[in-house]
Each structure stands twice: as structure tokens, then as C-alpha cells.
Structure 1
Amino acid sequence: MSFIEPAGRQGTIDYRAPSHTPNDWLALAAGIEDDVAQYFMVSARCGCFMQAARSLNIRATVLRKQLAQLEARLQRSLFSFQGSALTLSREGQQLHAQLTVLAHERRLPVVEQPSIRLAVAESLLHDILGRDLISLLRRNASIRLEIISLDSELALQSVSADVVLWLTAGDSPLPGPTFTTGEPQRLAQLSYLPHIAKRYSRVTARPDSVDDLADFMLVQWQHDRQVDGFRPWNNLVEQRLAGVVKLQSYALMLDMIRCSACIGLLPAYMTRYDRSLVALPGLFSEPMQHQVWLAVNDETEDVAEVQMIAQLIRNTFAERREWFES
């Protein structure tokens, strides 16, 4: 309050409030840093601090701290919860409108993220890498990632990517990608065995020899027909006059094994990935194996996002190394 004694009224005191309008605090909006303004606007748009942090590629604790400091500076509560839903308070709506106007005036540039191309053997993408890629996207919603599934040697030879993860039948990384990469890194050796669903095969009735397979339907992923190292299995499938299903879809082949009493060739790690399946060792004397190789494009190997994807793959295989031990 101000104490003013007006002329002509000696001995009296006039109580008058300062001449501030209710929305004077909005004038401070022009001084809000661009990144803090973005934190507020993205949080308002997402209606969720966690989702906003993902979109901004920062930790949620950092976001909440910045917004708390903004509220303290403005001396206004900008957000409120209605049940579990995050909404803007009346003052938050006013600030949102003000920052929207300022954003148009400033024409703040949008930071473009580099587009990263990841090419992965389809079976590895489905069984091993998919879950960790989902976790990566949950943490970083601003990334631009194109995932290319490699379902044949031709696809591998024709693809152009920043990071490539592929399989070979021998100890060499060849045949590999045709673009120039750094030194390929071998991540694992995979052994392959026929598998069947446990519920369709009692222990005493499981096949002990190739001849015993005559009583079971076989299912084959068509990609495996191209693999020389799978010749024992491929020859068996080709000799079948009945009781065989050939599929283009790896995921559908898995469903057929799980749900249709079929036997199919799968990596030995599959019993760890899906405990409803059981391997059938000893049916073939000749081992069937693949090597897993990782390489990074020479032209983009220094890009931070490319390094992040490559390291995620290395970590995934390192964490699952027990899956690949024979």
C-alpha cells in the first residue's frame, strides 16, 4: 500500500494500491529463455511430464526442475492435475497464449534430427533387438530412425544403411553389405536346432531321429532355403511329399510352431526367448550355425546417434551372451 496525503485534505490519509494490472507478470514471458519456453510448451502439448521429457530427449527430473524454477520466477502455478491428467492452470493458459505469440514473432528454428538407417536380419530384430529398440524409443521420442528388415542375402547386398547387423554361415563376414564400412565385429555364434512346442510333445514321445520326424508336420521359413549351412534341414523339407508348410513370415513360422504342433528350425537360444518351446538336439549329425556381424557405415560413423545405435546393439548381445553359449 502507498500512503498519500492529497492536497486540500489536510489530516486525512488516502490508501491507494499500486497501479499494476492483473496480468503484468505476463510481461516477463519475453525474457524466458528459448529452451525453458520449449519445455513449457511441449509439456502443455503432451499433457504428461514423462512424455514431454522423452520428446525433448532430457530426463524428467531436469524438466520438472526447470518448470519449477519458471513457476518460482513468475510466482504463478502453471500446471494442475485433474485426477491423473496434467492440465494448464488459468495462468498457465495465459502464458501459453503469450508464448505462442512470441514464438511466431521470434520464428524459432526447429532442430532437425539426423535420419538414422538401421538394417537388421529379420530373426535378430524379432528375437533379440526389438525389445531394446522399443526401450530406446521410449527414452528418446525425438530420434529419426528407419529400421530395415533383412530377409534375404539379396536384401543385404542392396541395402544402404548407417548400421547393419547380419548373419553369415561361415567364419567370414562375407557376404556382407556392399557399402564401405569399418571393420565388421563378430557379436555371436548361433547354433540352430529343430524346435517344437512343449504342450504338443510329451518327453517320452519326442522324436529321437530324423525318421521319427515323419509323424510331425514341418514348417520352414523360406529365407532358410538360401542358407547352405542349413542343408541337412532343407534337404529333409524338400523330400517331404506331405506334411510341410513353407512361409515368408518369420513371426508366422514361430506361431505355427507354438500353436500347430509343427516342428521348425530355430536358433538354440529360442528356449530362453520363449520357454513354451523345446529344442530337439541329436537329430542331425552335422551342426547348423550362423555368425552375427555388426558394421557401421564409414561415412556416418562419427554421428552421435549412429554411435548410440551401434553401442545399443553391442550391449544387447553382451547382456545376452549366455543365450549363445553352446
Structure 2
Amino acid sequence: MPFMETSRRQRVAEYRAPVDKTPSWRTLVAGLDPVLAQSFRVSARCGCFMQAARSLNIKATLLRKQLAQLETQLQCSLFSHSDNGFTLSRDGLQLHAQLIALAHERDLPVIEQPLIRLAVAESILHDILGRDLVALLRRNASVRLDIITLDSELSLQAVSADVVVWLAGTDSPLPGPSFAVSQPQRLARLDYSPYIAKRYSRVASRPDSLDDLADFMLVQWQHDQQVESFRPWNSVVDQRLAGVVQLHSYELMLEMIRCSACIGLLPHYMSQFDRGLIALPGLFSQPMQRQVWMAVNADSRDEAGVQMIVELIHNTFNERREWFEG
């Protein structure tokens, strides 16, 4: 009997205290590839694969590949998919909780992205660079970008930036930035003409001489009043006793031309930017031209983020080369 009682106690003890050879979530998390762990953590926070990919500055296809690799490594499904997106599965919730706990224990700092300061002439930002800058932010949601608009020579002189894009004469970049910059680069030469909306002007009634402008309202962006090469146009505007609108907003000036039967001075590429606008060539015998210049801050020109913006600007102007020709 004593022997049988001892054996029974041993069996109970063995049953009550089995050896658990399954690794815990904590152990699994500690051994994860940091890149895969970050991809999962950001996806869980964003609740959207596309937004998570933007935040990580990678393609959505690569993100999904990394998450599939993580699920294979952990041998479980981390997401529950639906028509409205996804939610975390039970295993996904456990993994997310452990990653948060581990981050708190290690007190992991947020990686600060360097601030990139881009100063751009207002018209160039609106017409040429704006769309590609939006595309950049869609691809890289973690970038820190300070975009400064330049609407006068005074603002150009006062600005401090890493990359500057401005308008000046065709022969010289002066007046340019007041801080130390690299050698200014020519990006494009712009020719200017009066423009009118097609829907407000039949071919037979479009003005073909300065006298014909008397029948139309003129609109002027006030920044252009100070541009020496625009003297022919500015003289016509200054002589007006009626039928003229002065505006401080470039975008509003464009809207006035589109929707109010006004005539305004715009760069020659505008017919490419807005098919509803048409140039009125031949009204002025003197050419009205400006040059787009770019320079990079001498102290930050070698930084990766600054080079990324410079490359974007070069690519944008190269892709739109036909806008500036002819």
C-alpha cells in the first residue's frame, strides 16, 4: 500500500506540472527581426496597409511581403481581413501588446526626421512643383518638409532654406538668396503673354492689338508690378482708369481669368497647365521673359533629404520640358 500511494502521488505531480516547451510571446517577440516587427507595429497603428507603407516609405507590396514573412515565422495569422480593411486577430493583438510592452521597457525613442526647408516662387509651386510634392508626401509620410512660398524679392531676401527656387532675369540670378548657396542652376526660361479663357472669347472677337484690350477687364498679380521685364504689360495696366483688378493672390488671379472674362499676364506654359486658357500673342512687340533658378544651401547641400528634393525638382522640370520650349 505505501508503495502504491507513493506512485499515485508521483503521477499526480507529473500531471499537475507538465513541461511547457512552447515558447512564450515574450520570447518570440525578443527574437523578431526589427524590420518585420516595425512593419507590423506601424500597420497595426495605422489600420491600413497603404497608410502604413507611406509611413514606412516603402511600397505596399513590400509591406505585405514582410507581414506574410512574419506570419510564416510565427506560424499564425495576425490579421482578419474584410471588405472594409483589416483588424488584428487574437494572435495579432497579443503580438501588438507584447511589442508595445517591449518598446516601453526599452524606452525606444522616436527617430526624428531632419527638417527640409524648401522655398519656392508662388507661381512655380502652384503650376509646376505642387503635384510632384504631393506625390512625394503620398510615398513618404514620415518626411518633415517646410514649404515656404516666395511672392516678392523681399521675401526671397529674407528667407532661410535648404533649397530655393525663384524667378529672376534671364541673364543673372540676382537678386537671389541672401545666405551662402551653391552655384545657381538654370531650370527653365519662361515667356509671358496675356491670357484669356476660351469660353469667354470667340476667335473672331479676341483682341489682336493693344487698343482692343480696352473692351476687356485686366487682372494683375501685384507681385508682377515690380518685375522690370513686364514693363510693357504694367504700363498698359497703370494707364487704366477703370476695368482693372489688382490681386495679392496668384491662385485667385488665375480664377479671375478662368471665370470672370478677365485678361491677365501668365507664363507661356499655361495652355499646357490649363487647356481652358488661351494665349493672346502679338499684342506686345517686346518679349517678356523670366528665368527659373535653383540654388542649394551651402551648409546642407550634401544631406540626403536635401538631395532628394533637388532630384525631384530636376525630374519635374525635365518631364515638363515641352512646357518651356517654343
Instruction: Identify the TM-score tier after normalising by the shorter chain.
Output: over 0.9
CA deviation profile, 1:75-130 (whole Å, cap 9, x unmatched)? 11001212131211111011111111111001112211110000000000000000
So what's the TM-score if we normalise by structure 2? 0.93
Task: Tell me the matched-pair count.
Answer: 316
The letter for the 1-side match of 2:200 is: Y
Runs of 4+, deviation exceeding 6 Å: 14-18
In the TM superposition, 1:256-267 aligns within 5 A as 256-267=256-267
Gaps of 5+ in 2: 1-5, 9-13
Alignment identity in percent? Answer: 71
CA deviation profile, 1:203-225 (whole Å, cap 9, x unmatched)? 00000100000000000000000
The letter for the 2-side match of 1:288 is: M
Partner of 1:66: 66
Is 2:78 aligned against 1:78?
A: yes
The letter for the 1-side match of 2:158 is: S
- Tell me the distance in 2 between the aligned counterparts of 1:72 and 1:92: 13
* Cα displacement (A) at 1:61: 2.6
* Cα displacement (A) at 1:167: 0.5
Partner of 2:226: 226
* Cα displacement (A) at 1:29: 1.5
Query: SS at 2:101's partner residue?
Result: helix
Partner of 2:29: 29
Partner of 1:298: 298
CA deviation profile, 1:280-308 (whole Å, cap 9, x unmatched)? 00000011000010111110000001001
Partner of 1:270: 270
So what's the TM-score if we normalise by structure 1? 0.93
* Cα displacement (A) at 1:25: 4.5
Which stretch has the larger CA shift, 166-175 or 142-151?
A: 166-175
**Aligned partners of 2:25 and 2:95 also within 8 Å:** no
Partner of 1:235: 235
**Aligned partners of 1:169 and 1:227 also within 8 Å:** no
* Cα displacement (A) at 1:253: 0.2
Partner of 2:136: 136
The letter for the 2-side match of 1:243 is: G
- Tell me the distance in 2 between the aligned counterparts of 1:70 and 1:248: 55
Partner of 1:40: 40
Query: SS at 1:166's partner residue?
Result: strand
Distance 1:94 1:21, change over 3 A: farther
The letter for the 2-side match of 1:136 is: L
**Aligned partners of 2:170 and 2:189 also within 8 Å:** no
Partner of 2:57: 57
Partner of 2:163: 163
Partner of 1:11: none
Partner of 1:281: 281
In the TM superposition, 1:163-242 aligns within 5 A as 163-242=163-242
Query: SS at 1:187's partner residue?
Result: strand
- Tell me the distance in 2 between the aligned counterparts of 1:17 and 1:262: 88
CA deviation profile, 1:123-148 (whole Å, cap 9, x unmatched)? 00000000000001111111100000
The letter for the 1-side match of 2:220 is: Q
* Cα displacement (A) at 1:16: 11
- Tell me the distance in 1 between the aligned counterparts of 2:73 and 2:33: 12
- Tell me the distance in 2 between the aligned counterparts of 1:213 and 1:288: 18
The letter for the 1-side match of 2:211 is: D
The letter for the 1-side match of 2:264 is: G
Partner of 1:250: 250
- Tell me the distance in 2 between the aligned counterparts of 1:301 and 1:289: 29
* Cα displacement (A) at 1:59: 2.5
Query: SS at 1:305's partner residue?
Result: helix
- Tell me the distance in 2 between the aligned counterparts of 1:85 and 1:48: 7
The letter for the 2-side match of 1:125 is: L
* Cα displacement (A) at 1:15: 11
The letter for the 2-side match of 1:66 is: Q
Partner of 1:148: 148
- Tell me the distance in 1 between the aligned counterparts of 2:21 and 2:84: 34
CA deviation profile, 1:42-92 (whole Å, cap 9, x unmatched)? 000111112111101122233222221211111110012121312111110
- Tell me the distance in 1 between the aligned counterparts of 2:205 and 2:182: 50
